[in-house]
Chains A and B, each alone.
Chain A
C-alpha cells in the first residue's frame, strides 16, 4: 500500500452518514508532497466553501508526509477542516503515534465526511474500517478515561493511535481539540467540536506495515545522517532538556510574556513558573512521539492530598509546555505551579485548547473588572491569580450553564462582539493569541499566518533576532518566506522543532533513496505553490486579510523595543495585501 513517495497516494475515504468507506489510489497528487499540501488539495476537492463547520457538510482531512515512518522526527499529522472557531480554514498538527499509525496502515490521508445519526467511534485496522457504537462513551467528559476504555477494548497495543474528544468537543465548544496518546493534541481551531458535531467520539488507527526503499544502501546512509544530526548536534537541544518552557524566563526578561490579559509583558512571579522551576520541582518523566529521539514531552507529577482523609493521596501526571504556562499561568496571573498544573489537567480532561481557554478567561476577567459583564454572567468571581475560580470557570465553559458561558464557548472574538470589550479581546483572525508580546513581527505574523498561529512564520523569533525594525516591506517578505518554507516542512510532515535538522539540503537528500530527485529550488517552488493554494482556499472560504481586527490593547503596553507602532503595522499589512493577495 502507501508508496510514501511521490508517485502514488492512498486516500481512505470514510463516510459517517452511510457508514461506508473506500480507498482511492491517486497518481495525480505528487506535486502536493503530502501533509499540508495534500490536505489543501483534498479540502478543495471535498469541501463546499459555504459549508457550516458544524454540519454534515464539513470535511476532516488527516494527512501525513512521505518521510513517515522512513525517517526520525517525521512524527506529525496535519488535520484540516473548516474551523467552527473562525469560520475559515482550520489546520492543526499533532504528533504522538498518529502519523506513524496512518503510514503503517498504508495511507497518505484519511478523509472523513458526513455525520453519524448516533455516537460512534471508528477503528481503522489497516485495510478494514469498523464503525463502533459509542452511545455508552458519549457523555464521558474525561478524554483520558475515554482513551483508556477504548485502549482496553481494541487491539493494536503499541502500533495504534487513539484520537478522541472529551466533553468540550461533544458540547461543541468552538475551541475544543482532539487528544491523541493522552498528551498530544490537535488543539487549535476547534477540530474537537467538528468531531462532536459528527457524533464522532474517537478514531483508532491501527497500522502494521512495511515498505522498501528503492536504494537500500543510500536509505540507511541518509537515515544515519539525520539521526546523527538529531541526536548529537545542538539542533534539538533546546527541546531535550528543559523543553519549551525554557522560554518562560527569557521572554519575561524581554517584557514579552503576556500577563493578565496583556496588562503587561512582565510577570513578577516568573521565578516560580519558569521552565527551570518546573524541571526542578515537578518534572517526573519525559516521553516521545513515535520515531522521535528527542522526547520533548515533559510530564509533571502532581501529588494531591485529600484534606478530609489523612494519608490518602492521588498523583496525576500532567504534560506541560511553554504555551500552557503562558495561557493558564501568566495570562491569568497564576503564579503557583500546582495551580497551573491543575488548570492544565482540567483543560486536558475536557479536551479544550489550552491557549484559547486561557485567553477567553483572561478577557472575561478584564471584562468583569470593567463591568462589561457582571457576576451574574460569570456565576463566580473571576480574579487574576485565583486558579480555583478558573478551575470552576473551565467547568462552566464545558457545561455552559447560562447564556454567558454559551457565548464564551464560541471563542473570545464572538464573545467580545456580543458583550463589547473588543479592544482587549486578544484574538487574531478569530484565533486566540499565542504567548509572545515580542514586537510587531509577532502580531503581524499572527494576522497574516494562514493558521493565525505563531508557528506559521515565527514572527516572535524575528522580533528577538533583529536589533532594528526592518522596513515593513522587508519584514513581510521575510515572514512570508518563512511561512513558505514551513509549508514544505508541514507537507513532509516533519516536526517544526526539527527545522534545524531538515534543512533544504537534507530534505533533498532524504528523497533520493526513493528515486525522487528534487532540488532545493524545486522544493521552494512547491512551497510557494502550496502557500498560494492555501491562501486561495482561505479566500474562497471568506478570508479577508484587509478586514482583520487588531485589538487596541497591544499598543498600550511596552515591548522590549518600546510601544508597538501602529503605522508600521498598517504599512506592513497594506504591502502584504498588495503583493500577496493579488496572486
Chain B
C-alpha cells in the first residue's frame, strides 16, 4: 500500500529544515547534499518571531499540477499526489504556477523538485511535525471525522 506524508502538528515546527535535507538524500544511490533536489521547503512565517512552517505537497486527489503538464511528466498517483517522470519534464514551470500552495520548486538544472510521498523525511523530523501513514489510514481517519 502506498503511503502519504502528512502533517501531524505544524505548530511544533521549529524551522530546522532537517526534512528538507533528508528529501535531497532520499535516493540510495544518488543522495544529494543541499536542498536543490528537495521537494520540501522550510520557512519562517515572515520572520522567526512568528514561528516556522514547511511547504510540501498535500497530495491532492485531483492535482492541478498534473493537468497543466504538457508532457505528462506529472501523472496522478493512486492515493493522492503525483508521480514525477523526470525524463519527460521540459522545465516549462506550468506546474509551479498551478500549485496553489507553492509546493513545487525549480531546480537549478531547469527541472522541478516535489514531494513524491516516499516518506524518507518523516523519520528525520526531530519534533513530530510530519508523519508517514498509509493511504488507507488517511481515508479511514477522514471517514471517522465525517461520522
Contact = CB atoms under 8 A, between A and B. Distances in A.
A217 B27 CA distance: 10
Interface string B1-38: 00000000000001111100100110011111111110
A352 to B, nearest CB: 18
A292 B33 CA distance: 15
B48 A209 contact: no
- Chain B, interface size category, equals 20 to 34
A297 B52 CA distance: 13
Interface-central residue, B16, B25, B28, by most chain A CB under 10 Å: B16
A216 B41 CA distance: 23
Interface residues of A, number: 46
B50 to A, nearest CB: 8
Interface in A90-113: 100, 103-104
Contacts of A158: 17, 41-44, 55
A295 B126 contact: yes
Contacts of B18: 72, 291, 293
Given A223-B25, A293-B126, A295-B126, A104 B35 contact: yes
Given A293-B16, A295-B127, A216 B49 contact: no
A287 B28 contact: no
Contacts of A317: 49-50
Interface stretch (A144-152, A547-555, A573-581): A144-152
B51 A208 contact: no
B126 A231 contact: yes
Interface in A270-287: 285-287
Contact of A208 (B50, B108, B124): B108
A4 interface: yes
B127 A148 contact: no
Interface in A35-80: 69-70, 72
Nearest to B51: A285
A137 interface: no
Interface in A133-183: 144, 147-148, 151, 157-159, 181-183
A426 B56 CA distance: 51
A262 B41 CA distance: 47
A123 interface: no
B46 interface: yes
Contact of A295 (B16, B24, B36): B16
Given A216-B30, A288-B15, A291-B17, A210 B37 contact: yes
B97 to A, nearest CB: 16
Interface-central residue, B28, B41, B42, by most chain A CB under 10 Å: B42
Given A159-B41, A208-B35, A289 B25 contact: no
* 5 A-B pairs with least C-beta separation: A288-B16, A210-B36, A293-B126, A158-B43, A295-B14
Interface of B: 14-18, 21, 24-25, 28-37, 41-44, 46-52, 55, 108, 124, 126-127
Given A208-B108, A211-B33, A219-B31, 12 more contacts: A72-B21, A104-B35, A148-B46, A181-B44, A183-B48, A210-B24, A210-B32, A216-B30, A223-B25, A293-B126, A299-B48, A317-B49
